[in-house]
Every structure is written in C-alpha cells, then in structure tokens.
Structure 1
Amino acid sequence: MRMAATLQRSLERAHCQFDLVPHPHSATSLESARVANIPAERLAKSVILDDRHGHFLMAVVPASRHLDVGKVRKDARQWQLTNEATLSGLFKDCELGAVPAVGEPYGMNMLVDPTLTRQKDIYMESGDHENLVHMRMDEFLKLVPDAEVCELCH
C-alpha cells in the first residue's frame, strides 16, 4: 500500500517535503522504530480517544512513551481509548495499527506532546506496516497547523 491516500493528499496540499522510509513489516510503533533503525522518541505514535458520544480526538506521543489519558483536557469531555473495531471505520485507507499522526484530514482535533515538537525531525506511520514518513518538524507543523501542543505523557 505504501501510503494512505488521505495522508498523501494532505502532504501535497500543504506542500510538505518528506521521505518515505521502507522497513520490514512491524506490528507496533516501538517495533517500527527498531526495525527501521530510528530513535523511538522521534516516531510519532497516534492514540485515538473518544468520548463515547461520537467525538474523536487524536493524541500524538513519541513511540518511546505512554499516553496519560488523565492529562488529556479537551472540551471538558471524558476521553477514553477508542476500540479497534471503531478505528477501522475512522481510518478506512489505513491498515489497523498503522494510523498516521495527522488527525485533521480524518476530521478530528489533534494534541501533540511537546517531547515530539522539540525534535528536529520526526517519523510517522504512513498507513501501512512497512513504511514510515520522515519529515522535518517545521514541515510536520505546517501539515497540522491546528494541532495543540500539550503535555500528554507520564
């Protein structure tokens, strides 16, 4: 598959410069970082949350860290992890577990941990389990201009 069509359109619209980094098949973000030989703190991992009332939120954290759901304060809602069955409907052009770190093109607000924004460049899933998108941080921020940066990890 190489790259989700939604991600590709977003990159083109924002005129972002990026590289596609192929790697052996992997099942998790940490494994992707390992097999692609990149630092896990530079791989942006998407965690999808919902309020059980049809509202979704994407929290983006480094693959080396864990999301602290208690730190997610957005719209005074109670956020919780979205179940996998729901994810396949939200990200129709992505393989399950390979969601790119871009919420806006998929119709959801986005929070990004500052641990990521302090990196000079980052990697993210491309929509499949065998490719990562690599870009400079300024290009990523151009791609997700409305993302809110806030502490999300323990």
Structure 2
Amino acid sequence: MHMAQTLERSLRRAHCQFKLVEHMPSATSLESARKAGIPASRMAKSVILDDRRGHYLMAVLPANRQLDLNKVHKGTQRWQLSGEQALAALFKDCERGAVPALGEVYGLDMLIDPMLVRQQDIYLEAGDHESLVHMPVDEFFKLAPNAEVCDLCA
C-alpha cells in the first residue's frame, strides 16, 4: 500500500482519524469501491477542472454519480475537464488516476456534493490504485475547511 506523501503529511498534521483500506488494483473510483466492498455512494471521487487560464478546481462527488459541468459555479470562470498532463503536474506524488479527493491539501479550491456530506464516513483514493483512506466526514472537513458544498451531480 502506498499513500501520497502530501496526503499522509496533511492527515498527520491535522491529527485526523483514518484507516487505510487495501483492495485489489483498480482503474476508477467506482471500481475501487466495488473491489473494496464498500458502497459507491460513500466513495469520494475527484474531478479536476480548469478555466483554460491556469486556475484549477476540484469537484468531489460520489463515485456512482456523474458531474454536471453546468452546475459548477466558482467565480465567473467557465470550467472544463483538465487534461492528464495537468493532473500529473498538480499531483506529483500520486499515481495517474488515483487523485485523493482532498484538493485543499494540494492548493486547489474544492466543491463538494451534499450527497457526500450526508454520509457518516467516506472513502477516498490514497494516491495509488490499491488503497483507500476511510474517515468520518467531520475528519474529512478538517482538511477541506474552505470547501463549498453545492449540488454537482447530473
């Protein structure tokens, strides 16, 4: 198991309660939930957006839902899905496609769908394709205190 250094350092600094959950290798957050045997509604999926001008935003939603870009409002920017090159540069300590749903620890603004906030606990990618971080929602918000909660799903 491997946890991204930035994530691990942030969890420890904030004295967050969490558990690392191992699972068979997976390619997506939805597949990670299936392989770990957890409800997809409690798996936080991150979607990275950009405004074509160098500003990035992380949208966080349940793994079993799809992002509705028309619902993403942060300032006056128009947002689009970010490319793989941008993700590699932003999340240097993560494997491609295994971005933790805690953008603030990487310097990104965050939007979180209320479906996740209503859960008692959530799971998120740990930075690789074989492990998840499991934590109570209130612990999650210790690392995302400035996140905006808004409807993001189609």
Q: Which category describes the TM-score, using the shorter chain as reference length?
A: over 0.9
RMSD of aligned Cα (Å):
0.7
SS, match of residue 139 in structure 2: helix
**Alpha-carbon distance between aligned partners in 1 of 2:137 and 2:106, rounded to the nearest angstrom:** 21
In the other structure, the counterpart of 1:127 is 127
Are residues 1:18 and 2:18 paired? Answer: yes
Q: Displacement of 1:74 after TM fit?
A: 0.3
Are residues 1:89 and 2:89 paired? Answer: yes
Counterpart residue identity of residue 71, structure 1:
K
TM-score in terms of structure 2 length: 0.98
Q: Deviations over 1:9-67 (max 9, x none)?
A: 11011110000000000001111000000000000000000001000000000001001
Are residues 1:50 and 2:50 paired? Answer: yes
Counterpart residue identity of residue 105, structure 2:
P
Q: Displacement of 1:114 after TM fit?
A: 0.2
Q: Point out the more displaced range, 81-90 or 125-134.
A: 81-90
After TM superposition, which residue ranges in structure 1, 4 or more long, deviate above 4 angstroms? none
Q: Deviations over 1:119-146 (max 9, x none)?
A: 0000000000000000011111112111
Counterpart residue identity of residue 139, structure 2:
E
SS, match of residue 141 in structure 2: helix
**Alpha-carbon distance between aligned partners in 2 of 1:86 and 1:142, rounded to the nearest angstrom:** 26
Q: How high is the sequence identity, in percent, across the aligned residues?
A: 68
TM-score in terms of structure 1 length: 0.98
Counterpart residue identity of residue 119, structure 2:
Q
In the other structure, the counterpart of 1:112 is 112
Q: Deviations over 1:89-144 (max 9, x none)?
A: 11000000000011112111000000000000000000000000000111111121
**Alpha-carbon distance between aligned partners in 2 of 1:151 and 1:13, rounded to the nearest angstrom:** 30
**Alpha-carbon distance between aligned partners in 2 of 1:142 and 1:107, rounded to the nearest angstrom:** 15
Structure 1 residues not aligned, in runs of 5+? none
Counting matched residue pairs gives 154
SS, match of residue 59 in structure 2: strand
In the other structure, the counterpart of 1:63 is 63
Structure 2 residues not aligned, in runs of 5+? none
SS, match of residue 142 in structure 2: helix
In the other structure, the counterpart of 1:27 is 27
